[in-house]
Amino acid sequence: MPDKYSAIWVSHSSMGDFLKCPRLYYLHNVYKDPTTKRKINIVSPALSLGITVHQVLEGLGDFPAEERMKRDLLSDFEKAWENVAGEKGGFQSDEEEKEYKERGVAMLTNVQHDPRFLVNKRIKLPRGEMNPNFYLSEEDNIILNGQVDWLEYLPDDTLHIVDFKTGKNEETDGSLQLPIYLLLCNALQKRKVSRASYWYLEADKLVEKELPDLETAHRDVLEVALRVKEAREKGEYPCSKGELGCFGCRPFEMIVSKDSKAKYLGVGGFNQDMYMIKNSVD
């Protein structure tokens, strides 16, 4: 029987870090502060906006389909925003916070005007205390985990994967996100997935994507997961840009080196030490 506690856990976010750069993966997913023994993470305005809008929309799934749009989404957003207001959310100033908050209000106003499939039946993937997960490879002791934003139940008894996008940039075609969601849905419930879409909330644009076949999805995701496993086993996380460097890891390096611009905010939801990077020192 494989041991889930000794397994390598991979997700869209951690593999995304690894593909950007192994050292970035290390700093964000492996490194622990030697004093607190906790992993480190950074709050940012974009992340805070994303978390809050997702919280409001995914929260709708707890209500029966016919009641969802009777809710006041802006009031739910206002409440959720309290958790990210000010420095807790990585905002450098009141103006910056106002700008991001207004973007969230605009997104949810779009949803209220046209909720699309949010008023249809949905299903949820089974989960316990952890995100939905399954063995991507028992032989290699690798577990894939992730949370699909919304799974619409279609009248032909198939499913539609929907991913809410709060950023301005469109997802690139090589992204592992849809292959990962497809694998999670296939492993954790019985219905077939027939559609997948990204919903860009600010532009209120729905972009339907072609789904990979299961075999290709499994092969592509496992290929990256095995590279992650190998790096962890060897303890080798090289900087992929060499002497040229880049800005990718700089905020994390600032935390590790105790730079005074890295401000400690407290312990976050996943028992991580949370920081913000200040533009200037007070």
Residues that bind ligand SF4 (CB under 6 A): 21, 23-24, 239-241, 245-246, 248-249
State which residue, 247 or 270, has the beta carbon closest to ligand SF4. Answer: 247
Cα gap 160→158, rounded to integer Å: 7
State which residue, 23 or 54, has the beta carbon closest to ligand SF4. Answer: 23
Phi, psi of 80 (to 5 degrees): -65, -30
State which residue, 20 or 191, has the beta carbon closest to ligand SF4. Answer: 20
**Which pair of tokens denotes residue 31?**
């490194």
Strand order in the sheet with 133-137: 8-10, 142-145, 133-137
Asked whether the beta carbons of 46 and 99 are under 8 A apart, the reply is no
Min separation Cβ 274 and ligand SF4, Å? 20
State which residue, 37 or 258, has the beta carbon closest to ligand SF4. Answer: 258
Residue with tokens 């209500």: 63
State which residue, 23 or 165, has the beta carbon closest to ligand SF4. Answer: 23
Asked whether the beta carbons of 2 and 237 are under 8 A apart, the reply is no
Min separation Cβ 239 and ligand SF4, Å? 3
Cα gap 34→128, rounded to integer Å: 30
State which residue, 98 or 241, has the beta carbon closest to ligand SF4. Answer: 241
Min separation Cβ 252 and ligand SF4, Å? 8
Min separation Cβ 238 and ligand SF4, Å? 8
Burial of 186 from C-beta contacts in 10 A (0-12 / 13-18 / 19+): middle
Min separation Cβ 243 and ligand SF4, Å? 9
Looking at the chain, how many residues does it have? 282
Min separation Cβ 241 and ligand SF4, Å? 4
Whole-Å CA distances, 84 to 38, 101, 148, 167, 227: 21, 10, 22, 17, 35
